[in-house]
Chain A
Amino acid sequence: GAGVSQSPSNKVTEKGKDVELRCDPISGHTALYWYRQSLGQGLEFLIYFQGNSAPDKSGLPSDRFSAERTGGSVSTLTIQRTQQEDSAVYLCASSFQGRETQYFGPGTRLLVL
C-alpha cells in the first residue's frame, strides 16, 4: 500500500508568485494535516481536514495561505504572493479518523527567491 505522497518534491519560485502544493493521503484516511518545517520555527501545524471540511485552521500564518480538500482525498495548499519567509519544507500527514497515528509524506521543499 502506498504511503502519503506529495508533489512537487522541490519548488523554487520568485517572491510574489503563487504556488500550489499537493498531497495524496493514504487511501481510506479521512483526516489530513499540513505542517511546516523551517529552521527558525521547527515543526508547526498549519491546518487539519476531516473529510472535506477544515475544523482547525488555526496554524495558517496569514491570509495568503489557503487549503482545500476535495472528494475526501487529495488536498492542495496554496500560498499566494509568496515571501522569502515562506521558504520551508511543507509536510502533509494523514490518519485513519483523526485521533490515531499520523503518517507523514516526504514533504515539498519550497524556496522563495
Chain B
Amino acid sequence: GDSVTQMEGPVTLSEEAFLTINCTYTATGYPSLFWYVQYPGEGLQLLLKATKADDKGSNKGFEATYRKETTSFHLEKGSVQVSDSAVYFCALNGGSSASKIIFGSGTRLSIRP
C-alpha cells in the first residue's frame, strides 16, 4: 500500500540556519503531496502542497518540490526562525489511497535563538 517515510527527529537548529526535512513516498497512481505543521498546543495546519510532478509548493518561506523520479517531497527553508518550532508531517493522498491521507511519522523541529 501507499506509504510515507520522513526524516526522524528531533531536529535542532540555530536561528537563521538552513532547513531540510527529507520525505519519500511509495504510491501507485498520481498522489497529491502535502506538508502539514502542528505548532505547540495547536491543531494540524496545511503548510503547502503539490498536486503533480515538478510542482513546487511554497508558503511562509518553506518550499517543497514534487519529484516523481526520486519519489521525494523534501521540505526546505533558507533561514529558520524560532517561531518555526513545530512538528512537521509529510503526507499524501490519492494514488491507491483514494481520499484518505497517509501521513509520515512526523519530525519535531526546535529552533534555538
A positions within 8 Å CB-CB of B: 31, 33, 35, 42-43, 45, 48, 50, 55-56, 59, 91, 93, 95, 98-99, 101-107
Tell me whether A102 and B43 are in contact (CB under 8 A): no
Contact of A91 among B32, B34, B44, B104 (CB under 8 A): B44
Tell me whether B99 and A103 are in contact (CB under 8 A): no
What range describes how many residues of B lie at the interface? Answer: 20 to 34
Tell me whether B99 and A104 are in contact (CB under 8 A): no
Residues on A with beta carbons closer than 8 Å to the beta carbon of B44:
43, 91, 104, 107
B positions within 8 Å CB-CB of A: 32, 34, 36, 42-46, 49, 89, 93-94, 98-106
Report how far A33 CA is from B36 CA in the complex, Å: 16
Tell me whether B99 and A98 are in contact (CB under 8 A): yes
Residues on A with beta carbons closer than 8 Å to the beta carbon of B102:
45
- Which 9 A/B pairs are nearest by Cβ-Cβ distance? A43-B103, A45-B100, A104-B44, A106-B43, A98-B99, A42-B105, A104-B43, A48-B99, A48-B100
B57 to chain A, nearest CB (A): 11
Known: A33-B101, A106-B42. 12 other contacts (CB 8 A): A35-B101, A42-B103, A42-B104, A45-B101, A56-B98, A95-B99, A99-B32, A101-B46, A102-B46, A104-B43, A105-B43, A107-B43
